[in-house]
Amino acid sequence: MAKGTVVQKIIDNHYISGDKEIGKPVAIRIDQTLTQDATGTMAYLELEAMKIDRVKTELSVSYVDHNMMQNGPENRNDHLYLQTVAANKGVYFSRPGNGICHQVHLERFGVPGKTLLGSDSHTPTNGGIGMMAIGAGGLDVALAMAGQPFRMVYPKVIGVKLINKLSPWCAAKDVILHLLSILTTRGNVGCMVEYFGEGVKSLTVPERATITNMGAELGVTTSLFPSDEITEEFLVSQGRGEAYAALAADADAEYDQVIEIDLAEVVPMAACSPSPDNIEKITDLAGQKVDQIIIGSCTNSSLQDLLKVAAMLKGRRANDSVTLAIAPGSRQVMEMLARCGALADIIAAGARILEAGCGPCIGQGQSPANDTLTLRTFNRNFAGRTGTKGDNAYLVSPEVACAAALTGFVTDPRELDFECPTVEVPAEFLINDDMIIPPPADGSGIEIIRKPTIGNPPENGPLPEVIDGEVVLKVGDKITTDHIMPAGIHLKLRSNIPAYSQVVFECFTEEGKPSFAERAAVVRDNGKHGIIIGRDSYGQGSSREHAAICPMYLGIKAVVAFAIERIHSANLINFGIMPLIFADHADYDKIEENDKLVIENAPAQLAVGAPVEAKIVKPNGDEVAITLTHKMSEEDIAIIKAGGRLNCA
């Protein structure tokens, strides 16, 4: 087991209960929370359902950054609810336009050595300054706001040793893409990544944050860097020098696994569709025609990134054959770009300026044309996430994105006919927190505005004695929460579960055939229980608990797969859906859609480490006995038996 690591030190400082042994449940105290609007409305509705008057954390912040298009009243209704519930419950409110939660939190609130739980899977961005920043479902974040500890498994710590420094045109994004090519997006549940080695000193905080941000795609619990003089410099530049605390692994620290990356060997890369671990070198992709380039998202929208982009674009123009769009990560970044003239260079080059927010990263506009290639500096390229069916999106660094914007083709920036610009980030940032509304000392009198599109979380009954299941859907490997619960044009339905449930697994609906929602509702209304069959790495990606709430609303009682990713598994438990595992992978081939899956004495069979015996009943009446397992703790089992966390006293 790892010793003397930053991970271990932070866990020790926040330890509440559990076994400090890899894979065993452990509970830690949460210092700070963050929510964003797309997951936040449910989180605060859940907090209200817990009858909590005021949050118990050191700091909680509610951001509005995802749902900004305001096509119809839903988004603004959400914003009004979020603003008033924040004031009522003692939460800071970052207004729409102020920027992406992770970027703003890094700039204005993150503190080395503290714990942060966020209802967004990219919360580990703040690991760039040595926070233990973890993504979770909204209900887990609501519980943390209510003062309850966060439960996770004691992590296996993967130490990533960085040596040397990056070459010109090679970026932090390439470092995490390189790591994704090694570790891939699956098989890393229950791990944390800690960076160490002399190469750490060559990376700025925004670069470190790019790396920890996209660490989410590894499926690890979080990633973090030590906190050193570079962290201090960053915090001082943000006028927050007092937040600095040094944090380093001991000289003789032991990691459970070590991966060495020679930064000098890292080259420009891309993650090709449809997965962030589908990594290719730019040299192998060069020459492909590009139609669209977008620079932004919580991965690559810092001032440093955009100053580099501005320097590359200055005096040049986006190629006639492409569209180029740029979304700064925060208002601070946008305003500083504007004041130093860099924004003018970007505009003069023909870039389309988007507001500071998630925007196209979550399918809010800028969907690409059919059969074209789009290059994005984002962190996810799951099929259809751009809003275009059959999309082809490569995830790249700002340098590679910009090179393509200039030439119209995938281009290795090292082949450009100009030098890699060096960018000076100012020693003092422009500090203006006007768009962050602090909560009043006593918010109890503040009326919470609840417009008709804000619905309460649906209710669920206790786990039935017999699961009289029917397989509503059978899917393959790497099903993401974007497959389960599409965002894009449906994102505005996040506060309305009955409406949002209608698009569960929409990507699998065949034309002219009933949708998943229709088929699940028939099973439910016949008094039976819906079952989903998956394979490896089920539930990758977003923390959206809607991928559990909506299936629960449609009567789903179990997901059976080879492996279920951490956040999604926790969300399933929170909403009373059993995350079950095939004991024998061969059984996957024995079960088909519309088969029955019966689990007798379900509550009695659920015990820590014990198998669950079930039988498949074929349409012709043939029966096949199968054994299932699970990784649920005693507390998880109690939640499942009660029909979800909100039913537990």
Give the end-to-end CA distance of the chain in Å, rounded to a whole number.
35
138-145 and 566-574 helices, crossing angle to 10°? 70
Q: Is 65 a catalytic residue?
A: yes
Site for ligand SF4 in 413-472 (CB under 6 A): none
Under a CB-based contact definition with an 8 Å cutoff, are residues 616 and 623 in contact? Answer: yes
Active-site option among 208, 380, 519, 630: 380
- What are the C-alpha distances in Å from 65 to residues 95, 356, 423? 8, 8, 27
Site string for ligand MIC, 158-197 (x = CB under 6 A): ----------------------------------------
Q: Please, which residues bridge with residue 247 across strands?
A: 227
Q: Which entry of 237, 297, 537, 542 is annotated as an active-site residue?
A: 542
Q: What is the DSSP string of 61-102?
A: EEE--S----SSSHHHHHHHHHHHHHHHHT-EEE-TTSB-HH
120: contact with ligand SF4 by CB under 6 A: yes
What are the helix (H) ranges across 392-484? 398-407, 481-484
Catalytic residue among 65, 174, 468, 482: 65
Our answer to whether residue 542 is catalytic in this structure is yes
* Active-site residue identified among 66, 108, 208, 331: 66
Q: Which of 74, 120, 194, 232 binds ligand MIC (CB under 6 A)?
A: 120
Residues 126-145 that bind ligand MIC (CB under 6 A): 135
CA dihedral sign, ordered 135, 375, 507, 39: positive
- Using CB under 6 A, which residues numbered 56 to 115 contact ligand SF4? 66, 100
CB of 602 to ligand MIC, least distance (A): 30
Q: Which of 35, 39, 302, 453 touches ligand MIC (CB under 6 A)?
A: 39
> By C-beta, is 544 or 645 nearer to ligand SF4?
544
For residue 362, state whether it binds ligand MIC (rule: CB under 6 A): yes
Q: How many CB atoms lie within 10 A of CB 589?
A: 7
Q: How far is the CB of 134 from ligand SF4 (least distance, A)?
A: 14
Closest CA to 37 of 74, 8, 9: 74
Nearest-approach distance from CB 216 to ligand SF4, in angstroms: 8
**List 544, 546, 568, 645, catalytic entry:** 544
Residues 362-381 touching ligand SF4, rule: CB under 6 A, are 362, 378-379
Is residue 458 helix, strand or coil? coil
Dihedral sign from CA coordinates of 141, 576, 551, 558: positive
Active site residue 66: yes
Q: Which does 105 bind (CB under 5 to 8 A by kind): ligand MIC, ligand SF4, none?
A: none
Q: Does 122 bind ligand SF4 (CB under 6 A)?
A: yes
Determine which residue in the list 14, 79, 95, 122 makes contact with ligand MIC, applying CB under 6 A.
122
User: Which string of DSSP letters, residue by residue, matches 231-283?
Assistant: HHHHHHHTT-GGG---B---TT-B-SEEEEEEGGG---EEEPTT-TT-EEEHH
Residue 555 Cβ, how far from ligand MIC at the closest point, in Å? 23
Active site residue 380: yes
Element (H, E) at 473: strand 467-474
Q: Which residues bind ligand MIC (CB under 6 A)?
A: 38-39, 66, 120-122, 135, 362, 380, 487, 541-544
Active-site amino acid positions? 65-66, 120, 380, 542, 544
